Amino acid sequence: MNQPTAPEVVRKPQGAAGTPPAAAAMPNPGRLFQTFNAYQQTAAMQAAIELDVFTAIGDRQTTAEQIAERAGAAERGIRILCDYLTVMGFLTKNESHYGLAPDAAMFLDRRSPAYMGSAARFLDAPEMLKAFDDLTAAVRKGGTVMGEEGTVGVENPIWVEFARSMAPMMMMPAEVISQLVEADKGGKCRVLDIAAGHGLFGINIARHNPQAEIVALDWASVLKVAQENAHKSGVESRYSTIAGSAFEVEFGEGYDLVLLTNFLHHFDPPTNEELLRRVRAALAPGGRAVTLEFVPNDDRVTPPEAATFSMIMLGSTPHGDAYTYVEFDRMFRHAGFTRSEHFRHPPLPESVIISYP
């Protein structure tokens, strides 16, 4: 083990802060300190979204005083929050004026059509945060220590929050899927959207293909959100629902597409294979299963967004994981599918897998 050594002290005249040239070679606890405090990044983003700081700045309220007045907050609180968001790269600062960095202008100004601030209500919901209060216990156990099977318990109300707040983050992957299945070509297309949530994946296909008919499956409480969205998109006449657990209800048959979006990661491979066998049986000749998932490479540590997703599954589910493509391919083959294709679309963190019976 190396011994820590104190930096060489270089005396500098009054007022100027000196940087000794030998500094780079020293051990640096900064990254560790940053990790101990990383939870504050989440809290700062939540506060900024709740106080609508980004919209205020986008609307040219650029000083701490102006933002504070609009947000009904203390100027000191806003100044410290905005300085922190500047260090994080979401804001810019020029003298006393804050500005929106590109990601903030796109995703955090409420007036942007790509606004994603609502995602905090699901991703940082109190019960999600609570699942990580004692991660040590979850690591010991190898799964969530939340009661009721974590977030995958029956009718967990968090999925209504998911359906309401995560829709904006799913617009881009929904568009990717519609392109991959060539929805614009039209033609007969019966779609089963399993764990539909907000319903955007099926709805987007219906928007691209006027002949597509969508069957959305989810808890009844969640389906209300999907139905609202189908109505808003004008596809409600081609939109029907099946309420209940994907592991219990009858799917029906003759589907050209079965969508499995952000679903398989919640369960272990045997559970998924059982489901996939039923998915295969529900497909029409020539039909396909379309899976949207966080898929790490075989090393399980790249790319970062997909690789770290397994941590969310450890904290919040009994047996979920971020599976590699090899693992997904194996599950589909075990369930009777003959082959799969894997598509990545950076910067989207999710992959699409299309599987053929």
Smallest gap from Cβ 161 to a copy of itself, in A, equals: 14
CB 58 within 8 A of CB 111: yes
Taking CB under 8 A as the binding criterion, the range among 135-143, 150-158, 210-218, 236-244 that sits at the site for a copy of itself is 135-143
44 or 222: CB nearest a copy of itself: 44
Smallest gap from Cβ 2 to a copy of itself, in A, equals: 6
φ/ψ (deg, to 5) at 45: -65, -45
**How many residues make contact with a copy of itself (CB under 8 A)?**
127
Residues 289-328 touching a copy of itself, rule: CB under 8 A, are 295-296, 299-302, 304-305, 307-308, 310-315, 321, 325
Residues 141-180 touching a copy of itself, rule: CB under 8 A, are 141-143, 169, 171-172, 175-176, 179-180
Smallest gap from Cβ 240 to a copy of itself, in A, equals: 26
Cα–Cα distance measured from residue 331 to residue 272, given in angstroms and rounded to the nearest whole number: 7
Task: Give every CB contact of residue 79 below 8 A, 6+ residues apart in sequence.
Answer: 64, 68
162 or 251: CB nearest a copy of itself: 162
Residues 17-56 touching a copy of itself, rule: CB under 8 A, are 17-20, 23, 26-47, 50-51
175 or 251: CB nearest a copy of itself: 175
> Rule CB under 8 A: is residue 60 a binding residue for a copy of itself?
no
> 306-311: long-range contacts (C-beta < 8 A, 24 or more apart)?
306/349, 306/350, 306/351, 309/265, 309/349
94 or 286: CB nearest a copy of itself: 94
Smallest gap from Cβ 158 to a copy of itself, in A, equals: 15
Residue 53 has a CB neighbour count (10 Å cut-off) of 30
Of 220, 165, 231, 175, give the one whose Cα is nearest residue 198. Answer: 165
Cα–Cα distance measured from residue 57 to residue 64, given in angstroms and rounded to the nearest whole number: 10
Cα–Cα distance measured from residue 120 to residue 132, given in angstroms and rounded to the nearest whole number: 16
The H or E element containing residue 75 is helix 75-87
Residues 67-126 touching a copy of itself, rule: CB under 8 A, are 71-81, 83-84, 86-90, 93, 102-103, 105-109, 111-114, 116, 119-120, 123-124
Cα–Cα distance measured from residue 82 to residue 289, given in angstroms and rounded to the nearest whole number: 45
Cα–Cα distance measured from residue 315 to residue 142, given in angstroms and rounded to the nearest whole number: 9
CB 300 within 8 A of CB 323: no
Smallest gap from Cβ 251 to a copy of itself, in A, equals: 26
Residues 177-196 touching a copy of itself, rule: CB under 8 A, are 179-180
250 or 346: CB nearest a copy of itself: 346
241 or 280: CB nearest a copy of itself: 280
90 or 159: CB nearest a copy of itself: 90
Taking CB under 8 A as the binding criterion, the range among 231-239, 274-282, 285-293, 347-355 that sits at the site for a copy of itself is 347-355
Looking at residue 338, its amino acid is T
- Of the candidates 65, 97, 139, 270, which one interacts with a copy of itself according to CB under 8 A? 139
CB 216 within 8 A of CB 191: no
